[in-house]
Amino acid sequence: MKSARGGLRGIFIHASLIALFFVVFTDSAGAAEAASRCEHDIGGELPVWTALPFAGVLLSIALCPLLMPHFWHNHFGKISALWAVLFAAPFLFFYQHVAVYHILHIYLIDYIPFIILLWGLFTIAGGIVIRGSLKGTPALNTILLLIGTMLASCVGTTGAAMVMIRPVLRANKDRLKKTHVVCFFIFLVANIGGSLTPLGDPPLFLGFLHNVPFFWVTTNVFPHMLASSLILLALFFIIDTLFYRREKGGHGKSEDEAEKIPFKIEGVVNFLFLLGVVSLVLMSGYWKPGHFMLLDVHVEYQNILRDVGIIAMGVLSLIFTSRQLREANDFSWFPIMEVAKLFAGIFMTIIPALAILKAGSAGALSGLVAVVREPYHYFWVTGALSSFLDNAPTYLTFFNLALGKLGITESAVPAALAAGEATANPEFILYLKAISAGAVFMGANTYIGNAPNFMVKSIAEEAGINMPSFFGYMIKYSIPILIPVFVLVTFIFF
């Protein structure tokens, strides 16, 4: 329990320092000025090179673990903070209170809720122990990936990943080759599996908040998800079978050598807390009690209640789960601390990239926005940007771009989708399918493409698995495996 309290304290110390920074450096007069300037279109002014600190964060994540592994392990938080300061200092100097508004907005509306949700799911899932003589055969591994893929749309990709990763690692602890198991886990459970409901992945939840009906994506993106998942599961089974046969023919352990342990799930009370988190997320999409302004940032009451409720669910999990169960899961706070520190830098430095993208034809990436016309353009451009940027605002950017090009108002979205081919703009359905699939599917292309990717990597490395580097993951796994699948999806559906 001491380590649990320490991890919880560390998360909220970082959040408190961020909040204190803005309270100290923003006075009431500044808030008033920000109120008149918060709509300032910085995306139309910022050049592309302002995103260099963001590129620096990505390159640090990619290269430092290879070039200076010991230094990176001990100081990755400081490196992330350095890149954040390199962007924030000149940004605050030149844009002053407008910069404060944009920085405060991305931390209050995006980063802090993002970390709270990750912390809650990570903490709760860490108290669920699946015991039993699970042997990482190709058949069992494929079944576990299938279960995780189906679970992802019900409890979110983060929830499913945190529940399923430890049983998968435990089942494969005696396998010699298992890196591919974790990489396919990231493909399916941490990304593609979450494409069927707004609970599955943040971009779809954002679409739900902007009038896309809750079950629209379930029926319309299901064929794309089914085709991609079946192809990847079949490829995984073939690859895993090849590795498994080599091990059995070499010095792999026999199934008869291990002690037989009956199948059992412990810490089941955590499923109630997991359901609580899902219910709170769903509540924040339906219940609209109003909002208040915090230094001109529009803060919704339901989101505050959601975040406080998720913290409560996590704390209850810590109270009602024995330390022995967490020890059985090899639970530690390092993965969530690593994600919190690295993404604190990522969210700061991502501000200019998102602002430029949001500016559309008025921004430095106007050429890119101009070529997005066909459904497959939306699929690939949304997906490519979601691989490196936050996929939720990327989804929203191209969602709004599609609405603008077709002359559809946000309030008319349900009617436009319900009318289908009968509407004056039937292509909107194809656009939205492409945007939804691209944002969710291609989050698997990199470790930072979706929230659970990096966390799964960190948990696997703590379990002793030699995971590939940032570029190694792309070169060895996502590019040769995922990109051909996405090309096939493009020809079939877009």
Share of the chain above pLDDT 90, in %: 33
Q: What phi, psi does 259 have (nearest 5°)?
A: -70, 135
Q: How far apart are CA 158 and CA 155, in angstroms?
A: 8
Name the least confident of 237-251, 256-270, 309-323.
256-270
**Reduced to 3 states, what is the DSSP secondary structure of residue 390?**
coil
Name the least confident of 75-89, 177-191, 281-295.
281-295
Q: Do residues 117 and 157 make contact, with C-beta atoms less than 8 angstroms apart? A: no
Higher pLDDT: 201 or 362? It is 201
Q: At what angle do helices 202-209 and 427-441 cross, to 10 degrees?
A: 140
Q: What is the mean pLDDT of residues 73-82?
A: 92
Q: What is the mean pLDDT of residues 385-412?
A: 77
Long-range contacts of 104-108, Cβ-Cβ distance < 8 Å, separation of 24 or more:
104/22, 104/26, 104/294, 104/295, 104/297, 105/297, 106/347, 106/348, 106/350, 106/351, 107/18, 107/22, 107/347, 108/294, 108/297, 108/299
- Tens-digit pLDDT profile for residues 296-308: 788 889 889 999 9
Count CA atoms within 13 Å of residue 451 on its CB side: 30
Joined tokens for residue 278: 């899902």
- Average pLDDT in the chain: 83
Highest mean pLDDT (candidates 383-392, 417-426, 445-454): 445-454
Joined tokens for residue 305: 């209640």
Predicted local confidence at residue 18, as pLDDT: 45
- Under the banding of pLDDT at 50, 70 and 90, the label for residue 122 is confident
Higher pLDDT: 12 or 287? It is 287
**Reduced to 3 states, what is the DSSP secondary structure of residue 213?**
coil
Higher pLDDT: 364 or 232? It is 232
* Signed CA dihedral, 137, 139, 143, 149: sign only: positive
Q: How far apart are CA 4 and CA 319, in angstroms?
A: 10
- Tens-digit pLDDT profile for residues 39-74: 556 878 888 899 899 889 888 987 888 888 889 888
- pLDDT over 60 at 17, yes or no: no
**Reduced to 3 states, what is the DSSP secondary structure of residue 364?**
coil
Predicted local confidence at residue 420, as pLDDT: 58
- pLDDT over 60 at 111, yes or no: yes
- pLDDT over 80 at 411, yes or no: no
Q: Do residues 273 and 124 make contact, with C-beta atoms less than 8 angstroms apart? A: yes
Q: Do residues 401 and 372 make contact, with C-beta atoms less than 8 angstroms apart? A: yes
Helix ranges (H only) for 26-137 are: 28-37, 52-67, 69-105, 112-125
Domain boundary assignment for the chain: 2-24+51-493
